[in-house]
Structure 1
Amino acid sequence: MITLGLSDRAGRQVVLRDVDDENWRAVADVAPLDEQRRYVAALAARYLLLSQREGVWHSLAVCADDTVAGHVMWGRDEDGSYWLGGMVIDGPEQGKGVGRAAVLTLVEWLARRSDCAELRVSYHPDNTPAARLYTAVGFRPTGEVSDDEVVAGLRVVDGRPLAG
């Protein structure tokens, strides 16, 4: 379990857990709001399969107290940067601060790795909620584009993410 002691707006503790035999079905069923389906997979099950089959990504369940509220994954690129990807917060759980707490928790956890110098994320340029979230936690566009998505980075120095 990965936790920073962060809570959502309802006071539920947000933690990241390994996807396991007890929670994988709930994670697989996580679905975004209909209008977000052009930016993320319709179900988190797609991201679970990427983690399982490709060996690059590592899926985590986003939990608010004991409720699976979403999915996020991380991976390490050939250039040494760590990536956040596949974040989907279940439609009914959105707008409660769960996604922000999940991103902050994963950023802090990855930044503590001795080989982490940069964190990266990509998002569709029209996905303004994602852009606002990632900017709010310190990610800045790098000028790179990956599969029509904006690439944003966050430098890490001495185990701490440095915004801007």
Structure 2
Amino acid sequence: MITLGISDRAGRRVVLHEVDDENWRAVADVAPLAEQCRYVPALAARYLLLSLREGIWHSLAVCADDSVVGHIMWGRDEDGSYWLGGMLIDGTEQGKGVGRAAVRTLMEWLAQRQDCRELRLSYHPDNAVAARLYASVGFQPTDIASGDEVVASLSVLDGQPKDLNAPSR
């Protein structure tokens, strides 16, 4: 379990758990709002399969208190950068700060790895909600693209994401 004491706006503690025999079905059933399906899969099950079949990504269950409310995954690129990917918060749980808490938790956990110098992620350029969320925790768009997505990065200094404690924008 990855826990850093970050809460959502309802005061629920948001933690990240390995996907296991107890929670995989709940994670697989996580579904975004209908209007988000142009940016993310209709169910988190696709992300779970990527983690299982490709061996690059590591899926985590996003839990608010004891309930699975989302999915997020991480991976490491051959250049040494760590990537956040595949975040999907259930439509019924959105707007409560769960996504932001999950991203911050994963950011801080990855930044504590001795070899972590940079965090990266990508999002569709039309996904304004994702762009605002990632900018609010310090990610800056780069000139690099990943397919049709914008790549954003954040430097890690002394085991901390550079802007982790900066106020929300």
Paired residue type of 2:5: G
Could you tell me how far apart the structure 1 residues matched to 2:77 and 2:91 are? 30
Could you tell me how far apart the structure 2 residues matched to 1:161 and 1:101 are? 14
Q: State the partner residue of 1:70.
A: 70
Q: State the partner residue of 2:100.
A: 100
Could you tell me how far apart the structure 2 residues matched to 1:143 and 1:34 are? 30
Query: Where in structure 2 are the equivalents of 1:149-164 lying within 5 Å?
Result: 149-163=149-163
Shift of 1:25: 0.1
Q: How many pairs does the alignment contain?
A: 164
Q: State the partner residue of 1:20.
A: 20
Mapped pair 1:84 → 2:84: yes
Could you tell me how far apart the structure 2 residues matched to 1:148 and 1:162 are? 27
Q: State the partner residue of 2:118.
A: 118
- CA deviation map 1:84-117 (0-9, x unaligned): 0000000000000000000000000000000000
Compute the TM-score of the two structures, normalised by the length of structure 2: 0.96
Paired residue type of 1:34: A
- Structure 2 unaligned segments of length 5 or more: list them: none
Q: Which runs of 4+ in 1 moved over 3 A?
A: none
Compute the TM-score of the two structures, normalised by the length of structure 1: 0.98
Could you tell me how far apart the structure 2 residues matched to 1:55 and 1:28 are? 18
Paired residue type of 2:160: R
Could you tell me how far apart the structure 1 residues matched to 2:29 and 2:7 are? 23
Percent identity over the alignment is 78
Could you tell me how far apart the structure 2 residues matched to 1:55 and 1:13 are? 29
Paired residue type of 2:110: L
Shift of 1:42: 0.7
CA RMSD between the two structures: 0.9
Could you tell me how far apart the structure 1 residues matched to 2:10 and 2:130 are? 21
Could you tell me how far apart the structure 2 residues matched to 1:59 and 1:38 are? 21
Paired residue type of 2:26: A
SS at match of 1:46: helix
Query: Where in structure 2 are the equivalents of 1:4-15 lying within 5 Å?
Result: 4-15=4-15
Instruction: Answer 1 or 2: which has greater strand percent.
Output: 1
Mapped pair 1:37 → 2:31: no
SS at match of 1:2: coil
Could you tell me how far apart the structure 2 residues matched to 1:24 and 1:95 are? 24
Could you tell me how far apart the structure 2 residues matched to 1:11 and 1:162 are? 25
Shift of 1:158: 1.2
